[in-house]
Amino acid sequence: MTEPVVVARGVRKRFGSIEALRDITLDVQAGEVVCLLGPSGSGKSTFLRAINHLERISGGYLLVNGHLVGYRMKGNKLYETSVDETCARRAEIGMVFQNFNLFPHMTVLGNVVEAPQRVLKLKRETAIERATALLDRVGLSDKLESYPRQLSGGQQQRVAIARALAMEPRLMLFDEPTSALDPELVAEVLNVMTDLARDGMTMIVVTHEIGFALEVADRVVFMDEGIVVEEGSPEEVLSNPMHERTRSFLSRVL
């Protein structure tokens, strides 16, 4: 087996007196889709943000593609790296947020070509060619010159996915990507994510979409109060959970 794409060992995160993450240890293999489930405040999004150093961790360590992100190790201590070095590591990680985070003053095409041009230093023609292909892939080839305000929430989220893919990441992180959408728009985003999974993209998805987890995930991780309560195949965790806390949660959301 090749080296995991994500290695988390003893990861902890404190916000003052609150322990948001408590000794999280987890591996994610290349091509694996891992869904993080759990109640609000369980630490799912905090862990996801820690992977690409949007949250500083309080203990333990995280590796992505064999490297620390945002830190260097000296002895047994972690020290933060420069902004440039952190950004270079983040370039290998795509992230899709709840609320799209598109640039409102840029067209759909402009949103997708911005990072490849600025960070990867692609020529504009190359960036446009890549962006056009990705927007066609997510079903938005007719929206290149539209602005975010002219799009539905589902369309905006598909632009956000195309924007993340334009950096050709080895890992995609999704932080409740459908939670801000009207119910009728959820499927169009989940369909794009399902296609990515079938193409072998390594994905960690924070979600409450149990059907998606059952259909697409290779592994489900249930978190509560900053710890991993249980993990396993979707059938094991969602159909036959071992822990009462998992059973209680699922009885409310199913």
Phi, psi of 190 (to 5 degrees): -60, -35
Rounded to whole angstroms, the Cα distance separating 39 from 47 reads: 14
**How far is the C-alpha of 254 from the C-alpha of 74, rounded, in Å?**
47
Dihedral sign computed on CA atoms, order 68, 72, 78, 82: negative
Indicate whether this model's pTM tops 0.85. yes
Provide, rounded to the nearest whole percent, the portion of the chain with pLDDT above 70: 100
Q: Give the Cα separation of 137 and 66 in Å (integer).
A: 30
Banded pLDDT at 1 (limits 50, 70, 90): low
Q: What is the pLDDT of residues 68-104, one digit of tens each?
A: 999 998 888 889 999 989 988 999 999 999 999 999 9
Residue 123 has pLDDT above 70, yes or no: yes
Structure tokens that stand for 14 in this block: 């404190």
* pLDDT tens digits along 186-234: 999 999 999 999 999 999 999 999 999 999 999 999 999 999 999 999 9
| Tens digit of each residue's pLDDT (9 = 90 or more) over 29-66 | 999 999 999 999 999 999 999 999 999 999 999 999 99
Residue 188's H or E segment, with its range, is helix 183-198
Q: How far apart, in whole angstroms, are the C-alpha atoms of residue 236 and residue 250? A: 13
Percentage of residues in the chain with pLDDT exceeding 90?
A: 92
